[in-house]
Structure 1
Amino acid sequence: MNIKKVEIIEFTDPVCTWCWGSEPLLRKLETRYGDQVEIKYIMGGLVRDIRDFYDSYNDIGGDPERSNSQIAKHWLEASERHGMPVKSEGFTLFTDEYPSSYPQNIAYKAAQMENQQLADKFLRRIREASASEARQTNKKEVLVELASEVGLDIAKFLERLSDGSAEAAFKEDLKTTYKYGVRGFPTFLIKYGKKEMLMRSYQSYESFKSIIDTISSGEVKDEIPNNTEKDILDFIEKYERVAPIEIMLSFDMNESETNTLIKKLEENNQCRTVQAGNGYYIEVIVRPMSCDQATGVCRV
Structure 2
Amino acid sequence: MNPFCDPETGICTPSTLDDLYSIGQDKLTEKTEIIYVGDPMCSWCWGISPDLIKLRDHYRSKEIGYRVMVGGLRPGGGDPWNDEMKNFLKEHWGHVTQASGQPFGYKLMEKDEFNYDTEPSCRAIIAARPLVQDQEMEFFEEVQRKFYVDSEDPKEVEFYQTICDKFDIDFEKFSERFESEEVRYETNNEFTLNRQWGVQGYPTMILLHNDQLFMIAHGYATFDQMNSQVEKTIAEVESKRGAAQ
Fold shared, TM-score > 0.5 on shorter chain: yes
Corresponding position of 1:35: 61
What is aligned with 1:176? 193
Q: 1:13 aligns with which of 24, 39, 43?
A: 39
Does 1:195 pair with 2:212?
A: yes
Aligned residue runs from structure 1 range 104-123, under 5 A? 104-123=121-140
Q: Which has the higher contact order (CA 8 A, sep 6+)?
A: 2
Given the alignment of the two structures, is residue 102 of structure 1 paired with residue 119 of structure 2, yes or no?
yes
User: 1:131 and 1:172, CA in 2 relative to 1: closer, same or farther beyond 3 A?
Assistant: same
- Paired position in structure 2 for 1:154: 171
Query: What TM-score do the two structures reach when normalised by structure 1?
Result: 0.61
Retained in 2: the 8 A contact 1:44–1:177?
Answer: yes
Which stretches in structure 2 are left out of the alignment for 5+ residues?
1-29, 239-245
Q: Residues 212 and 5 from structure 1, CA distance in 2 versus in 1: closer, same or farther, beyond 3 angstroms?
A: farther
- State how 1:1-300 maps to structure 2 within 5 Å: 6-36=32-62, 37-51=64-78, 61-63=79-81, 66-88=84-106, 90-92=107-109, 98-198=115-215, 199-217=217-235
Distance 2:31 2:67 in 1: 12
Q: Report if the CA contact (8 A) 2:33-2:209 is conserved.
A: yes
Spell out, residue by residue over 1:245-297, the C-alpha distance to the aligned partner (whole angstroms, 9 max, x if none).
xxxxxxxxxxxxxxxxxxxxxxxxxxxxxxxxxxxxxxxxxxxxxxxxxxxxx
Is this contact kept in 2: 1:213–1:219, CA < 8 A? no
CA pair 131-42 structure 1, distance change in 2 beyond 3 A = same
Which protein has the larger Cα radius of gyration, Structure 1 or Structure 2?
Answer: 1
How far, CA to CA, are the matches of 1:97 and 1:209 in structure 2?
Answer: 37
Any conservation in 1 of the 2:51–2:222 contact (CA below 8 Å)? yes
Q: RMSD over aligned Cα, in angstroms? A: 2.7
Shift of 1:50: 3.4
Structure 1, 210-219 or 190-199: larger mean CA deviation: 210-219
Partner amino acid, structure 1, of 2:235: S
Following TM superposition, by how much is the alpha carbon of 1:95 offset from its aligned partner in structure 2, in angstroms? Answer: 6.9
Aligned equivalents of 1:35 and 1:64: distance in 2?
48
Distance 1:173 1:93 in 2: 32
Query: Letter of the aligned partner of 1:121 in structure 2?
Result: E
Q: C-alpha separation between the residues in 1 aligned to 2:169 and 2:98?
A: 33
Aligned mates of 2:111, 2:193 — CA distance in 1: 26
Gaps in structure 1 of 5+ consecutive residues: 52-60, 221-300
Distance 2:136 2:71 in 1: 16
CA contact (8 A) 2:132 2:139 kept: no
Q: 1:126 to 1:64 in 2, by over 3 A?
A: farther
Structure 1 26/151 Cα, relative in aligned 2: closer, same or farther at 3 Å? same
Q: Which amino acid aligns with 1:19?
A: C
Q: Percent identity between the aligned chains?
A: 20
- Distance, in Å, in 1 between the alignment partners of 2:114 and 2:94 is 25
Q: Distance in 2 between matches of 1:135 and 1:65?
A: 19
Paired residue secondary structure (1:190) = strand
Cα distance in structure 2, aligned partners of 1:138 and 1:93: 17
Offset of 1:86 from its aligned partner?
1.4
Q: State how far apart, in whole Å, the 2-side matches of 1:126 and 1:212 are.
A: 27
Deviation digits for residues 164-204 of structure 1 (CA, Å, limit 9, x no counterpart): 12111101211211111212100111122323211311123
Q: Give the AA of the match of 2:97.
A: S
Q: 1:31 to 1:161 in 2, by over 3 A?
A: closer
Shift of 1:70: 2.6
